[in-house]
Structure formats: structure tokens, C-alpha cells
Amino acid sequence: MRAIVRGKVWLVGAGPGDPELLTVKAARLIGDADVLAYDELVSAEILALGRSDAERIAVGRRASGCRHHEAKIHPEVILAALAGKTVVRLKGGDPFVFGRGGEEAEELAAARVPFEVVPGISAALGAAAQMHIPLTHRDCAASVTFATAHAREGEGRPLLSVVPLDGTLVLYMGLGRLAAICEDLLAQGRSADTPACVVSNATRPNAKSVFATLGTLAAVASATEIEAPAIVMVGEVVGKRVESPVAVALASSRSRVAS
């Protein structure tokens, strides 16, 4: 009897953009893969880490021409794995944070394709680190909630009805509905003075941010024409942002000590 050789699909988190924020494991798998299947959030620099002879397939929702179809792993991913290839399915951030990784895993299991999942740095973590915003803080935030502001088509429930009223809130996919989101949060009882910000293209060379309050964020963000992909952070921690002293000042104080 001949054994059936199956390949494998790795659902790999590519992080928020900066290639240096890939995990060591993700970088190794990308360098080894026969097939790289990626979505639109994965940067060209990261794809360049793949073998020159690796097949590269754009499988994102935008690539398929329809942004709101039901999540389905691209048929070529399954076919390549069934043909014995090693496929890295690269997803922006972490595969299991609003990445539909769970749905892709279900489909791989149904097709009897072996798979493994490699975590990545989610956009909230990349943005918080870049902006020096602690997501929790002993003075003011004992919890952090990651939520999406984007409902499935046809779902009537108010989007933010389930988020806690205190602690830090990080909203993915919220930029397009920013004014409505801020209104919802104010109506729920968050104070208009609550510090809030939008961070777009976090950890990438074109990163942009705007800082305001829950009461003013929508107007400030639209005035600066900040663009997607962006996350929205709301909570006292946004006001706990710490500026780093500039390195030059440190060098001169050192030389003063030395002289």
C-alpha cells in the first residue's frame, strides 16, 4: 500500500508590518515554504524573505475582489497541501485575532490537511509599543479589551453593546465608523474626556497617529485624513503615554559626568 504524502499548512502571524517583529519561527517557516499564501496586510519586505522559487499566492479578501464573502480558505492552499507542499498561510498580526484563522483551521481540518498555528504580534500590541502606551496600568486599567467595530452583514445588535465600560478598549477595523463608535461609547457612559487615539500603519515607515479625547477624536481624525489600516484605542492609558528622552541629551549628560 502506498502512503499518501500530505503537505502541511502553517497559519502564521506576520505581525503588524515591521519585518523585525516576525517571530524567529515565522521567519524560518517563510524562508522554507514551497508556497506563500498571503493577504493584503502582509508587507512586500516580509514576502521577500521567502525562497525565490516559492510560489506566491495573494489570497486576501481584497485580492478575491469581494471583501465581505464568507471566510473560505483559498482552494489553492488546500490543493497545494494535498499535493505534498509546505504552505505558509501568512496573516497580518496574529492569525487568531480578527484574522479568521479559526475559520481557516476548521476548513483545513474538514479537508484532512494537517496544520499548525504560529502566533504573531497583533496590531494592538505593535501600536501600543510604538506609541509608548501601556495597555494596562496599575493606576487606571486592570483590563484590556480587543473588539471589532465591524459586524457581519445582517447582524442587528449594536456593535459595542458587549464591551466593558472601564479598562482599555482597542478597536480593530473601526476607522470607517469612528464617529458612530465614539457616540456609542459616550452613550454607554464613557466620559467625553477619556483619552483616545487612532494609530494607522503601526510599526511601518508610514505610521501615523492622532491623539484626542473620546469627545473630539472623530473630528480630529477626519481633519488629519488618517487612513486604514488603523486601530482605535480608548482609555486612561492613552494619557499615560511616556515620551522617551532623546538619545542626544543622554549622550551630553554622560560627557558632562565624564569631564
Cα–Cα distance between 2 and 195 in angstroms, integer?
63
The reply to whether 18 sits near ligand SAH by the rule CB under 6 A is no
Of 38, 98, 115, 211, the one binding ligand SAH (CB under 6 A) is 98
Considering the complex, state which of residue 129 and residue 140 has its C-beta at the smaller distance from ligand SAH: 129
Considering the complex, state which of residue 40 and residue 236 has its C-beta at the smaller distance from ligand SAH: 40
Q: Which three cell numbers stand for residue 190?
A: 464613557
The reply to whether 41 sits near ligand SAH by the rule CB under 6 A is yes
Residue count of the chain: 259
Min dist CB 60 to ligand SAH, Å, is 10
The window from 59-67, 212-220, 225-233, 239-247 that contacts ligand SAH (CB under 6 A) reads: 225-233
The reply to whether 122 sits near ligand SAH by the rule CB under 6 A is yes
Q: Are 35 and 140 in contact (CB under 8 A)?
A: no
Q: Which of 72, 77, 71 lies closest to 58, judged by CA?
A: 77
What DSSP letter does each residue of 50-118 carry, written as one string? Answer: S-TTSEEEE-STTTTT-TTSPP---HHHHHHHHTT-EEEEEESB-TTSSS-HHHHHHHHHHTT--EEEE
> By Cβ distance, which residue is nearest to ligand SAH?
93
Q: Which residues contact 247 (CB under 8 A, 6 or more apart)?
A: none
The reply to whether 43 sits near ligand SAH by the rule CB under 6 A is no
The window from 1-9, 189-197, 198-206, 236-244 that contacts ligand SAH (CB under 6 A) reads: 198-206
The reply to whether 7 sits near ligand SAH by the rule CB under 6 A is no
The reply to whether 229 sits near ligand SAH by the rule CB under 6 A is yes
From residue 249, alpha-carbon distances to 91, 132, 244, 253, 259 in Å are 40, 19, 11, 6, 15
- What value, to the nearest 5°, has the Cα angle with vertex 97 and ends 16 and 77? 85
Considering the complex, state which of residue 7 and residue 185 has its C-beta at the smaller distance from ligand SAH: 185
The reply to whether 172 sits near ligand SAH by the rule CB under 6 A is yes
The reply to whether 231 sits near ligand SAH by the rule CB under 6 A is yes
Of 7, 11, 12, 17, the one binding ligand SAH (CB under 6 A) is 17
Q: Distance from CA of residue 84 to its chain's centroid? A: 30
Sign of the alpha-carbon dihedral angle for 35, 205, 151, 93:
positive
The reply to whether 94 sits near ligand SAH by the rule CB under 6 A is yes
The reply to whether 173 sits near ligand SAH by the rule CB under 6 A is yes
Min dist CB 203 to ligand SAH, Å, is 6
- What value, to the nearest 5°, has the Cα angle with vertex 97 and ends 224 and 181? 40
Residues lying near ligand SAH in the complex (CB under 6 A): 16-17, 41, 91-94, 97-99, 122-123, 127, 172-173, 199-204, 228-231
